[in-house]
Amino acid sequence: MPISHAKFASKLGCTDGELQKKILEVGFQIADEYDDETAELLLQELLGKNEKNVVDVYDELSEVEKEKEIVKSQRKQKSGKIVKKVYKAEEKVPVKSGQIEISEMISVKELAEKTGISAASLVGSLMKNGILANINQVIDFDTAQIITVSTGVKLTKKRTEAVAKDVFMGNLEKLLEEDDKSLLKNRPPVVSVMGHVDHGKTSLLDVIRDANVVATESGGITQHIGAYQVVKNGKPITFLDTPGHEAFTAMRARGARATDIAILVVAADDGVKPQTEEAINHAKEAGIPIIVAINKMDKPGANPDKVKAELAERGLQPEEWGGETMMIPISALKKQGIDKLLEAVLLVAEMLELKANPNRPAVATVIESHLDPSFGPVATILINTGTLKVGDNIIIGKAFGKIKMMRDHTGRKIKDMIPSDTAQIAGLSEPVHSGQILQVVKDERASRDQSSQIRGMFKDEEMLQSGMGMQEILNRIKEGSLKLLKIIVKADTIGSLEAIKQSLAKVKNDDIAIKVIHSGVGSITESDVMMATASAGTLVVGFHTKASAHVLQVAERSGIEVVTYSVIYELIEDLTKILSGLLKPENIQVELGKFKVMKIFFTGKGEMVLGGKISDGVIQSSSKCRVFRDGLQIGDGDIIGLKLVNEDQKELEKGEECGLKYRGKIKIAEGDLLEAWKMEKKMKTL
């Protein structure tokens, strides 16, 4: 039965205040009354865990003799329930060892049960850290770690399913978060091969695959599923067999960061071409290292030094020239230099220290998808973290399902996948899109619920695009969340392009800048729009060049702003105006006016009512003021009211005679001069 605080104090022979102090010292929270369990624990602490004292006091605190007999009878029937608890505390139940998994939020009582640490000890630790609590108090994971760290208990946070918004937005970084870095293990690198058309991307991928893929039971037929793994020096490498940078861009456009390393294929007899530049800019914008494969070294016109020079002009300095970019001469046709290229990939991967946690529910990225006559919607996926197993319930965008089949690039059916593995999966409710995120959920109901939530987030049945129109860019600027305006520039001539880039380079200061992420000569293409889509907050700007109707339609669907100009100064002026909004407003002091004190009407504690005349400027009712006497500043204060005749005024101008209410420490005298001023936020301009 509940025991009141007053009865505790009475029986223990102390005042309420003394008892409160004792209760706080042993780590309990003061209350008007205490339930059975709390009362017993509290008595154990106050009476030194003496079994007889605890039982006697508990009995004597009963309100009437009859209730006391009932309690004694119940205690005997339950085989000494209280005694058992006392012995448990006396014997100090050993603290549990190893990792203990708890939720983000947990009660003190539940934490005590899971860890073996006494509830009183936990409450005491909370008190020492400034938190008044009882055993029913709910605390967060970080607090639980703090109060158990000295006991040697290692807590781990129970992994919660990703919220629908993170899956919908493709927020891969959020989905891959790990609280305990010790759970991370090394994983193979994921490589994309990019470059100009006809420079040998496909030939290189074919050579790598054919040299490493083990023949299957079905006669060595390789399944072209858009991704595969090869092994070099006993270490696996995952290649994304995608159509150049288009698929790479599509994934980035939806928030995916599936690639760790880019291999840029450049023909030794042809050099840097427009698509080569686009690929370089894509990789740089994604922030991944580039390894250059100088292909077609077997051709008579091969000139690797010319290729290196052209790449150096575009920011890729060869290692042998003192730079950081590895450039490997190869011949896909003659199968030369392939081993060295793969060794370079492993070396870069080692420097990147790529890690993931295999012992968690899987998160993966969709590489490609199609409808299969036998299995329905299937998708090729790349595991980013965790382990995916046949039978797992999953969501991918609006689609949900249960993994019915997984098949690797050799056509072999597999039961599970670990980080950096790729395979085709079947069991989806509908087709999915490249770049979407797969998330494992606990059961079929959860997959349907999350799928329904995500479906509601789509404005229509079109695939979500992450581009920003001009209005959204301006809104982000006003919010202060956009600090770098990215531009893709296309012009009619090289001369015009260089002039624009040089002019834009000058439009900057310490706080903001324009970044040209890609530029070129010619019409605005669909590839330009795709790149802008992949880099949120990007404008496509054309000078004396146009975009076709089809490209404009793609831009509109993607939410990308395409702007064209025929006069260069208008282009620079408009971008400068947009960029000005990127600057945070600064606080500046604005001088308002002067007030000559002619009469003192009232003097109170810290406030005065003055009469006088505005000799210059304006005076506002909620402004600050400096007080001058005989030409010297003697203090400052606030103007908190203005009156003209008997009416309150917010602002009065020069020449007006009025009443003024002043607040401040300085006592105003007739003849003093008040100079009014205020702070304003003003936008900077470039």
pLDDT at 459 over 60: no
> Do 234 and 377 share a structural domain?
no
Residue 514, domain member (yes or no): yes
pLDDT at 85 over 70: no
- Whether residue 134 lies inside any domain: the answer is yes
Amino acid at 2: P
Q: Which pLDDT belongs to residue 460? A: 40
Contact between residue 514 and residue 575 where contact means Cβ atoms under 8 Å apart: yes
| 398 and 262 fall within a common domain | no
Q: Indicate whether 165 belongs to any domain.
A: no
Same domain, 492 and 630: no
Residue 491 within any structural domain of the chain: yes
Residues 256 and 116 in one domain: no
Write out the H or E segment, with its range, that includes residue 643.
strand 632-644
Residue with tokens 């209730």: 67
Is the Cβ–Cβ distance between 460 and 567 less than 8 Å? no
Say yes or no: 376 and 333 in one domain: no
- In this prediction, residues 649-667 reach a mean pLDDT of 93
Q: What is the pLDDT of residue 466?
A: 47
Name the residue among 520, 450, 461, 511 with its Cα closest to residue 483: 511
Mean pLDDT of 317-326: 90
- 521 alpha carbon, distance to own chain's centre: 36
Per-residue confidence (pLDDT) for residue 285, from 0 to 100: 76
Q: Are 35 and 22 in contact (CB under 8 A)?
A: no
Look up the CATH number of the domain holding residue 627: 2.40.30.10
Task: Examine the domain organization and report whether 301 and 256 are in the same domain.
Answer: yes
Report if residue 182 sits inside a domain. no
pLDDT of residue 141: 78
Q: Is residue 169 part of a domain?
A: no
Confidence of residue 151 (pLDDT cuts 50, 70, 90): confident
- 317 phi, psi to nearest 5 deg: -90, 125
pLDDT tens for each residue of 371-425: 888 888 999 899 989 999 999 999 887 888 999 999 988 888 999 999 999 999 9
Q: How far, in Å, CA of 680 to CA of 428, rounded? A: 57
Name the residue with higher pLDDT: 349 or 442.
Answer: 349
Of the residues 69, 91, 113, the one at which a domain ends: 91
Same domain for 479 and 566? yes
Residue 66: pLDDT band (50, 70, 90) is very low
Q: Are residues 524 and 632 in the same domain?
A: no
| Co-location of 207 and 346 in the same domain | yes
Say how many domains are in the chain.
Answer: 6
Answer for the pair 307, 264: CB distance below 8 angstroms, yes or no. no
Vertex 445, ends 441 and 449: CA angle to 5°? 85
Quickly state the pLDDT bin for 231 (edges 50, 70, 90): confident
Q: Residue 472: pLDDT above 70?
A: no
pLDDT reading at 219 higher than 50: no
Q: For residue 476, what pLDDT band results from cuts at 50, 70 and 90? A: low
Residue 197 within any structural domain of the chain: yes
Same domain (yes/no): 120, 260? no
pLDDT at 586 (0 to 100): 66
Q: What is the CATH number of the domain that holds 246?
A: 3.40.50.300
Mark whether 16 and 111 lie in a shared domain: no
Across 408-447, the runs of DSSP E, i.e. the strands, are 416-417, 422-428, 437-441
Most confident of 72-81, 311-320, 431-440: 311-320
Can you give the residue range of the structural domain that contains 282?
Answer: 188-353
Query: Helix, strand or coil for residue 293?
Result: strand
> Each residue of 589-647: pLDDT tens digit?
889 999 999 999 999 888 999 999 999 999 998 899 999 999 999 999 999 999 998 88
249 has a pLDDT exceeding 70: no
Torsion of CA 660, 661, 663, 665, to 10 degrees: 60
Amino acid code (one letter) for 361: P
Domain membership flag for residue 181 = no
Task: Identify the CATH number of the domain in which residue 493 sits.
Answer: 3.40.50.10050
What is the reported pLDDT for 480?
59
| Same-domain pairing of 676 and 528 | no
pLDDT in the model for residue 1:
58
φ and ψ at residue 178, rounded to 5 degrees: -130, 125
Close Cβ partners of 542 (under 8 Å, ≥ 6 residues apart) = 489, 490, 491, 523, 524, 562, 563, 564, 565
**What integer best gives the mean pLDDT of the chain?**
77
Long-range contacts, 283-287 (Cβ 8 Å, 24+): 283/194, 284/315, 284/517, 285/252, 285/517, 285/531, 285/534, 285/535, 286/248, 286/252, 286/257, 286/259, 286/262
Can you give the pLDDT at residue 419?
A: 92
Q: Of the residues 42, 59, 91, which one is the last residue of a structural domain?
A: 91
Give φ, ψ of 548 to 5 degrees: -70, 165
pLDDT digits (tens, 9 = 90+) for 7-48: 767 766 677 767 776 776 666 666 667 666 666 666 666 665
What's residue 240's pLDDT? 81
Residue 630 pLDDT: 92
- Asked which of 457, 489, 524 is the last residue of a domain, the reply is 457
